[in-house]
Amino acid sequence: MRQTTGTSTRAGDGLGLAEVHAHTLASDGMVSAEALVRAAAAIGLDVLCITDHDTMAEIGHAIELGASLGVDVVRGEEVTASFPPGIHIIGLFLEHQVRMHMSVEDTVDAIHDAGGLAVIAHPFMPTWFASMTPGRARRLLQSHRVDGIELRHTAPVLPGTWRQLDAFYADHQEKLGAALGAGDSHFGEYDLGRVLTVFPGKTAADLRRSIEERTTSPRSGSFSPAGPPLHMRLAQQYRSMVWLGAERRAGRVGSGAGPTRG
């Protein structure tokens, strides 16, 4: 494992630690699902959610490996809604893949139809794509509830964003669901554990119940991985901006089920 700094990832008696947002080579991550599981086990995580962009690759071997190492692996997906702006919604505990490029509202419906929990990914980023703005979140909440929001995440934000996000959550908690912490890992051992979700229990079932009951909380700063080398960062940018787009255009990424509600 890479040299790291920081304290232990221990959550406390009766509490577990989860990474609810992580990527592999199935989309724009730089590690296999199995390598991601090993990295999770090495830092003491209890649950790892694999949420590749617009795809749900076969992760049976990773689930088996996790079981042998004491890490519950959850099937998920980071779904890209329609452009512009291509807002990202995380689906956790999915029974099948959700297709990309639907409206945000239809994406939330499709995640629920697939048996999953819908989570707003990295909100309030200063970008026109991928992230949900306060105004768009308010529009969504006029007609829909979600199951959680990444109240703390690792995406770049402007000064004052966390205060703004906390205030928004306080005003809309009933419809925003659980407060989660998400590391958005793309590099396995090099970046896993930066921001985590603490929950009562230790298993994936406990995590789901905690999200549904809103007993989760985000945690930052308990683990500081060394970060990937420059060549790996550059390779990941190419994979995200070039390779993944080509996979979408070819139809190998992005298919799946849409909403069944009328």
Q: Is the pLDDT of residue 1 over 50?
A: no
- Residue 32 three-state SS: coil
Q: Which residues contact 247 (CB under 8 A, 6 or more apart)?
A: 253
Domain ranges in the chain are 15-249
Question: What are phi and psi for residue 151, nearest 5 degrees?
Answer: -70, -25
pLDDT, tens digit, for every residue of 18-68?
999 999 999 999 999 999 999 999 999 999 999 999 999 999 999 999 999
In whole angstroms, give the CA distance from residue 50 to residue 59.
9
Mean pLDDT for the stretch of residues 112-120: 98
- pLDDT number for residue 261: 53
Look up the CATH number of domain 15-249: 3.20.20.140
Helix (H, G, I), strand (E, B) or coil at 17: strand
Model confidence at 79: pLDDT above 60: yes
Residues 6+ apart with CB under 8 A from 145: 174, 175, 176, 177
pTM of the model: 0.94
Does the structure show a pLDDT above 80 at 192? yes
pLDDT, residue 9, reads 54
pLDDT in the model for residue 259: 77
Tokens of 231: 């060549």
Separation CA 37–CA 240 (nearest Å): 21
